[in-house]
Structure 1
């Protein structure tokens, strides 16, 4: 147990502490799902697991509130597994280690899982606390949100009876969300055409580190450096200097801005100093360019053992040029919503396999047309280099509904509880709400949550005061749900 169990609201934090002790990265939610289902059955709640692995837990209305509209309270069970290189953390086996840092809770060397663990803990706390007043309640806990939104994609019509969905996956206290971006994955495979290693060569390991990384939607407009993007530029420098490419790696998740990347380079003996000068020049440029945003960029070049193969020069040139041409960062801003990103792309993962190089990008947009346009641009850039490209898992955005009664209810409740109106926003990230509309088009949806910073990176932290405010707002909203006939 950790000290966070003593924080307010105690029940929510106690559940979150339990979540931290049960490994649950995307694709590995089974143990956590089993624990939640067993816990709910012990409380004699109705529990159902659907065919895709989502959990649906029903709790009867509080006495006297049976006439209210049914509410679906929703969170996802998985978390993003990101760790510092020196942490040695195994997300499938090791618990998260939360600790209190002033008014924040962080994790030691890893993502915290406050995204969406705090929302999940709040759902469980509502189920556990009979003092929380609510009408007919269903808690929907989805799987694999972070790596593919599998649970939202697979949600079947007719399983849930509620009319209002409260999504808990937003990350800024004082903001209420009424829309989100859609997205699509670009999965790219380039053949690795090897050449024999010439005589008289030496190998050097190029490494990029010290970057902040972050969420590829929420943080994309902040201009943070991407290790994969920087790697493409450095490989272009190295290729021009006559270096051969043996292997390259960068990033770990398509929805995280890459924090680290590297490449194994081969060049004629005695040419290391020339390559070092290029690397030093780039480091000076990057530290100036990203000053105040990414202040700890570090490039290193160290001798390495000679590899058994090197990429064919022509293939290497095509790969490097394709990486340089790959769209990355903010590509368009919304004309209707000031300061909101319309379309973006993240060069998330580069990985060398035995016979190919694998690249994965996540493209986001508030409109499907913008999403598809950038997807075609990305595919074209890599297809010209001889790659095989598949565009997978496309999901729609959540179109804003300014007339939403659920939104107005949250606004009015926020005003009553805190004496101020929240900001109404559209988030440049993939909430599951857009996908839910396919199976439940009648749902009136709204999303809100506590302040979480650094999501999808080991810098992730959640604000303690904001969690308490989130809980107060949620409890009050549940008690103010209107009657079914209104």
Structure 2
């Protein structure tokens, strides 16, 4: 098979996706891709605007004779999660993504691929560009900063969109129709500390936790994968209690919505307890590896000799911080009773960093039940505030309540069965789809989310199934044609 994804089918989708891989678009740095999409719309002679939030809207008139058909909005987000393997040299703000065909899948070389949500963007571009598809009025809404807080969706103004049906192209299991999602809330806890000099007789070590699978903090939270911040905290907590380890600095995780894969901490260890510390670390590391043998078999825990830090986090604050992180809820809190197998409420302890006299801990809380999310926030706030930290909760966004009586859902289920000879599964997702926010602004929209099969999004293992992209495209085209025709 060719290694050039532009030769894959459907070519119109892969051609646009290839173009997107050449344009740097990490979340928060979408200037280049926004300019590209705006230019794309204008090159087709279509009404193209960029709103105040940085979203791009392209409008395509209805096929002659279909002007009175229902208006359809195709929605996808422009940005991608920038994650790379250790040792991979890649500048996400300047370098293109190098995609490769790997059997039945397309992946990237050591980085996230950006199929989330580049395939959705590419499919919307292909629809807008098509001269053969019959349809009613079309709008393509390309939102920004979805991965770092959904700023684009939150910045949408009422009255901007005209259509009554929204097809969100940002789901990750072909053959599944999503009709609901979780809302989210960011939690940021800050410990202020005084730096203290390291006493004589200490040696330096760099502790590293790596090799974890990571993944999407909503879609993958139920898989039991290791959290690098939680693992590092266990190492530091035991080291502090048993061997007098002092913490010079810590850095774990990088994105609020990705399960942290790596963490590093520079520590100082009393020289006289060096062997005991290393033996204890080996035993605890072996126990953690055993715990994660099935979910995260490649986890690596190591201590490497390093120059001792000159200054460390003051011990009173360090102890309270370690205890608070140890007690911080992480993972699945509750499963849904209404939809078996769906996570209702969860927390991802995403980031722990120290800098300039402060340790910052960030979590992303998710729930399809607003009161449950509020209770989880109270729980986390209580843990950290009792430990002396300042807790701030912001960036909240609403969930999307399922509507099993949706007319578009009924139509799409019929279309899928007729086209593929089997039933599409109807689900809700424990992730923050933009549908929740858009639906809160445009309350009369009939919304469905679907997409191709993507595995390990938000991690360098991200890959998209080639055949599923073809089925997704065929289903999208059929849906637009039949929904428009009524």
Q: Indicate whether the TM-score tops 0.5.
A: yes
Aligned to 2:163: 162
- After superposition, the C-alpha distances for 1:341-382 in whole angstroms (9 at most, x for unaligned) are 000000001111111011110000011111111111111111
Asked whether 1:94 is paired with 2:95, we answer yes
- Partners of 1:418 and 1:66 in 2: CA distance: 29
Q: How far has the Cα of 1:232 moved from its partner?
A: 1.3
| More displaced stretch, 465-474 vs 35-44 | 35-44
Gaps of 5+ in 2: none
Gaps of 5+ in 1: none
- After superposition, the C-alpha distances for 1:136-169 in whole angstroms (9 at most, x for unaligned) are 0000000000001001111000001000000000
Contact preservation (8 Å) 2:187, 2:365:
yes
Q: How far has the Cα of 1:482 moved from its partner?
A: 4.8
SS in 1 for 2:483: coil
Alignment of 1:23-422 (within 5 A): 23-240=24-241, 241-422=243-424
Alignment of 1:450-461 (within 5 A): 450-461=452-463
Which of 473, 478, 481 pairs up with 1:479? 481
- Partners of 1:385 and 1:130 in 2: CA distance: 62
Aligned to 1:20: 21
- Partners of 2:389 and 2:397 in 1: CA distance: 24
Q: How far has the Cα of 1:133 moved from its partner?
A: 2.1
The alignment's TM-score, normalised by the length of structure 1, stands at 0.98
- Partners of 2:394 and 2:94 in 1: CA distance: 29
Q: How far has the Cα of 1:2 moved from its partner?
A: 6.3
Aligned to 1:10: 11
- Partners of 2:121 and 2:54 in 1: CA distance: 16
Contact preservation (8 Å) 2:72, 2:484:
no
- Partners of 1:258 and 1:282 in 2: CA distance: 20
- Partners of 1:62 and 1:55 in 2: CA distance: 22
| More displaced stretch, 271-280 vs 159-168 | 271-280
Q: How far has the Cα of 1:65 moved from its partner?
A: 2.1
- Partners of 1:42 and 1:336 in 2: CA distance: 47
- Partners of 1:454 and 1:242 in 2: CA distance: 39
SS in 2 for 1:230: helix
SS in 1 for 2:233: helix
- After superposition, the C-alpha distances for 1:374-412 in whole angstroms (9 at most, x for unaligned) are 111111111112111110110111000011011111111
- Partners of 1:149 and 1:297 in 2: CA distance: 31
- Partners of 2:20 and 2:274 in 1: CA distance: 49
Contact preservation (8 Å) 1:96, 1:107:
yes
The alignment's TM-score, normalised by the length of structure 2, stands at 0.98
- Partners of 2:90 and 2:463 in 1: CA distance: 18
Contact preservation (8 Å) 1:283, 1:297:
no
- After superposition, the C-alpha distances for 1:273-317 in whole angstroms (9 at most, x for unaligned) are 211112211221122211121111111101111212011111110
Contact preservation (8 Å) 1:133, 1:475:
no
Contact preservation (8 Å) 2:54, 2:143:
yes
Runs of 4+ in 1 over 3 A off after TM superposition: none
- Partners of 2:227 and 2:202 in 1: CA distance: 30
- Partners of 2:415 and 2:203 in 1: CA distance: 67
Q: CA RMSD in A?
A: 1.1
- Partners of 2:472 and 2:294 in 1: CA distance: 31
Q: How far has the Cα of 1:192 moved from its partner?
A: 2.5
Q: How far has the Cα of 1:272 moved from its partner?
A: 2.0
SS in 2 for 1:458: coil
